[in-house]
């Protein structure tokens, strides 16, 4: 019988029986590589079936690292046998955070095995020294071949194993180089099976790839229990650990960190991290309560509108979707009758967070108007609300949570969409139905 092969996109893992020039899923060019489809061997033993009440419930004995931001994203700690994928751009801090996690777990008396195929043991030692690592119960290995790694696991018999990174590890029998789709899939499958059967929790690190023959973490997301991504802008120190999938917890959690010389430091109170009263005194600056996962914290949006003699004015937005900004500027022109043709407009969400929450519409619009009129909104005022194409200010989720956080931080007035129930939040509320009302309220 003819051997059956498929073509797999190295970027997103899309599979097709024919070679394609461009991936229909992720729309990248020239990313398909041929892979052999292995015939699964038939299991020798008879299948077992059980009734619901015969199923055993495992005791929830999570290992806590006491790095709160990390434990929360994991769903309250690490479940024994949990297989976790940690993805992220190269250099974002994956190895650093895992070294910190290894240290924390070891301090609790658990044995950890850190397998590094990426860096030499002396490189790891240098980083460990920099971040104040003491991990007595952490073993290191620089094996890259799965069979040797399995032996190292047997030898160390750890509670937790860390594989840094998947893209450097290989199975000897597979002819392709480490990091190719076939290697990545097989290595992950084999190591997860190996660790799971021994109730060892494992972390698999993988960097996000855009081109070339090295496959990215997307390809193996389905194999593991939990998928976390470490995100952040390279030029800022802010890092967000986000859960994309979690069989042992909610995916609504994020962990916020700051990259420092000593490693990743938890940002326990993000509101005070992002908000500064002094800049809120300037025209163009507006505070808003932002929701990310289950957390609410205050952010600041800044706008700068400046005169341009050129026919095509510039529109720049950082930290917020460009299309959303275009809609808001069109609403300003159309519903408020303000001509923006001679204005360059720059918008920035302070701190390096990318805001996807539509509740930032109203603050963005107000920041543009505040800059245009050169009138400050002030450090004691917050605003939130989605803006529709007819200029209406629409309700958003979790208004109560947002108001309570603003109150906690000493804000005195909130400009909000019409609320469902008018409760007292200890902060003065001004409900606005449309952008005209909001503008009249602030700028008269």
Ligand X SMILES: Nc1ncnc2c1ncn2[C@@H]1O[C@H](COP(=O)(O)OP(=O)(O)OP(=O)(O)O)[C@@H](O)[C@H]1O
- Binding positions for Mg ion, rule: CB under 5 A: 95
Measured between alpha carbons, how far apart are the two ends of the chain, in Å? 81
Q: Which does 93 bind (CB under 5 to 8 A by kind): Mg ion, ligand X, none?
A: ligand X
Q: How far is the CB of 132 from ligand X (least distance, A)?
A: 13
Q: Please give the radius of gyration of the chain, using alpha carbons only, rounded to the nearest integer.
A: 26
Tokens of 260: 């420092």
Among 136, 169, 168, residue whose Cα is nearest residue 150? 169
Q: Which is nearer to Mg ion, 95 or 226 (CB)?
A: 95
Q: Which is nearer to Mg ion, 227 or 414 (CB)?
A: 227
> CA-CA distance, 190 to 167, in Å (whole number)?
14
Q: Which residue is nearest to Mg ion (CB)?
A: 95
Q: How far is the CB of 94 from Mg ion (least distance, A)?
A: 5
Q: How far is the CB of 204 from Mg ion (least distance, A)?
A: 12
Cβ(146)–Cβ(171) below 8 Å = yes
Tokens of 308: 């341009």
Q: What angle do CA 375, 379, 382 make, to 5 degrees?
A: 95
List interacting residues with ligand X (CB under 6 A).
88, 90-96, 118, 130, 207, 259-261
Q: Which does 109 bind (CB under 5 to 8 A by kind): ligand X, Mg ion, none?
A: none
Cβ(33)–Cβ(7) below 8 Å = yes
Q: How far is the CB of 238 from ligand X (least distance, A)?
A: 11
Among 348, 331, 349, residue whose Cα is nearest residue 340? 331
Q: Which is nearer to ligand X, 95 or 285 (CB)?
A: 95
> CA-CA distance, 185 to 200, in Å (whole number)?
19
Q: Which residue has the tokens 């290191």?
A: 140
Q: How far is the CB of 138 from Mg ion (least distance, A)?
A: 16
Among 168, 181, 192, residue whose Cα is nearest residue 120? 168
Q: Which does 261 bind (CB under 5 to 8 A by kind): ligand X, Mg ion, none?
A: ligand X
Q: What angle do CA 132, 134, 138 make, to 5 degrees?
A: 130
Kindly tell me the burial class for residue 200, based on how many C-beta atoms sit within 10 Å of its own C-beta (0-12, 13-18, 19 or more): buried
Q: Which is nearer to ligand X, 221 or 321 (CB)?
A: 221
Q: Which is nearer to ligand X, 118 or 361 (CB)?
A: 118
Contacts of 177 (CB under 8 A, 6+ apart): 170, 183, 213
Q: Which is nearer to Mg ion, 94 or 402 (CB)?
A: 94
> CA-CA distance, 99 to 93, in Å (whole number)?
10
Give the three-class secondary structure for 430.
strand
Q: Which does 333 bind (CB under 5 to 8 A by kind): Mg ion, ligand X, none?
A: none
Q: Which is nearer to Mg ion, 95 or 367 (CB)?
A: 95
Q: How far is the CB of 53 from ligand X (least distance, A)?
A: 45
Q: How far is the CB of 261 from Mg ion (least distance, A)?
A: 17
Query: DSSP secondary-structure letter at 170?
Result: B
> CA-CA distance, 101 to 162, in Å (whole number)?
10
> CA-CA distance, 251 to 73, in Å (whole number)?
8
Q: How far is the CB of 341 from ligand X (least distance, A)?
A: 41
CA dihedral 127, 195, 34, 211 (to 10 degrees): -20
DSSP string, 101-134: HHHHHHHTT--EEEEESSS-HHHHHHHHHHTT--
Q: Which does 90 bind (CB under 5 to 8 A by kind): Mg ion, ligand X, none?
A: ligand X
Q: Which is nearer to ligand X, 102 or 331 (CB)?
A: 102
Q: Which is nearer to ligand X, 234 or 424 (CB)?
A: 234
Q: Which does 57 bind (CB under 5 to 8 A by kind): Mg ion, ligand X, none?
A: none
Q: How far is the CB of 281 from ligand X (least distance, A)?
A: 32
- Would you say how long the chain is, in residues? 444
Q: How far is the CB of 99 from ligand X (least distance, A)?
A: 8
Q: Which does 246 bind (CB under 5 to 8 A by kind): Mg ion, ligand X, none?
A: none
Q: Which does 207 bind (CB under 5 to 8 A by kind): ligand X, Mg ion, none?
A: ligand X
Q: Which is nearer to ligand X, 259 or 327 (CB)?
A: 259
């Amino acid at each position: 019988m003819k051997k059956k092969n498929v073509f797999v996109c190295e970027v997103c893992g899309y599979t097709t029986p024919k070679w394609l020039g461009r991936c229909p899923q992720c729309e990248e060019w020239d990313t398909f590589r041929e892979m052999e489809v292995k015939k699964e061997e038939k299991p020798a033993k008879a299948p077992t079936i059980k009734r619901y009440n015969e199923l055993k419930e495992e005791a929830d004995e999570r290992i806590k690292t006491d790095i709160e931001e990390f434990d929360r994203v994991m769903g309250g700690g690490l479940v024994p046998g949990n297989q976790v994928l940690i993805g992220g751009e190269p250099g974002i801090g994956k190895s650093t955070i895992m070294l910190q996690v290894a240290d924390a777990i070891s301090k609790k008396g658990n044995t950890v095995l850190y397998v590094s195929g990426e860096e030499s043991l002396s490189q790891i030692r240098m980083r460990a020294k920099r971040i104040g690592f003491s991990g007595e119960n952490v073993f290191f290995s620089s094996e890259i071949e799965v069979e040797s790694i399995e032996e190292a696991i047997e030898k160390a018999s750890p509670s937790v194993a860390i594989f840094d990174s998947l893209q450097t590890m290989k199975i000897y029998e597979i002819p392709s180089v480490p990091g190719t789709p076939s290697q990545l899939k097989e290595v992950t499958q084999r190591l997860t099976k190996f660790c799971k059967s021994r109730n060892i929790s494992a972390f698999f690190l993988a960097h996000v790839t855009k081109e070339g023959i090295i496959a990215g973490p997307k390809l193996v997301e389905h194999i593991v229990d939990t998928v976390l991504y470490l995100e952040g802008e390279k030029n800022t120190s802010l890092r967000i650990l986000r859960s994309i999938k979690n069989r042992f917890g909610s995916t609504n959690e994020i962990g916020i960190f700051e990259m420092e010389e000593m490693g990743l430091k938890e940002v326990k109170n993000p509101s005070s991290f992002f908000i500064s009263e002094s800049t809120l005194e300037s025209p163009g600056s507006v505070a808003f309560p932002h929701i990310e996962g289950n957390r609410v914290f205050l952010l600041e949006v800044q706008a700068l509108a400046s005169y341009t003699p050129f026919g095509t004015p510039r529109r720049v937005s950082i930290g917020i979707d460009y299309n959303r900004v275009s809609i808001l500027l069109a609403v300003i022109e159309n519903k408020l009758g303000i001509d923006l043709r001679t204005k360059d407009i720059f918008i920035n969400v302070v701190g390096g967070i990318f805001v996807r929450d539509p509740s930032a519409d109203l603050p963005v619009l107000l920041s543009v108007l505040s800059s245009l009129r050169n009138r400050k909104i002030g450090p004691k005022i917050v605003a939130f609300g989605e803006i529709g194409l007819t200029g209406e200010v629409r309700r958003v989720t979790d208004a109560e949570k947002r108001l309570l956080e603003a109150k906690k931080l000493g804000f005195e007035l909130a400009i909000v969409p019409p609320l469902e129930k008018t409760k007292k939040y200890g902060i003065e509320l001004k409900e606005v139905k449309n952008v005209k009302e909001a503008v009249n309220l602030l700028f008269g």
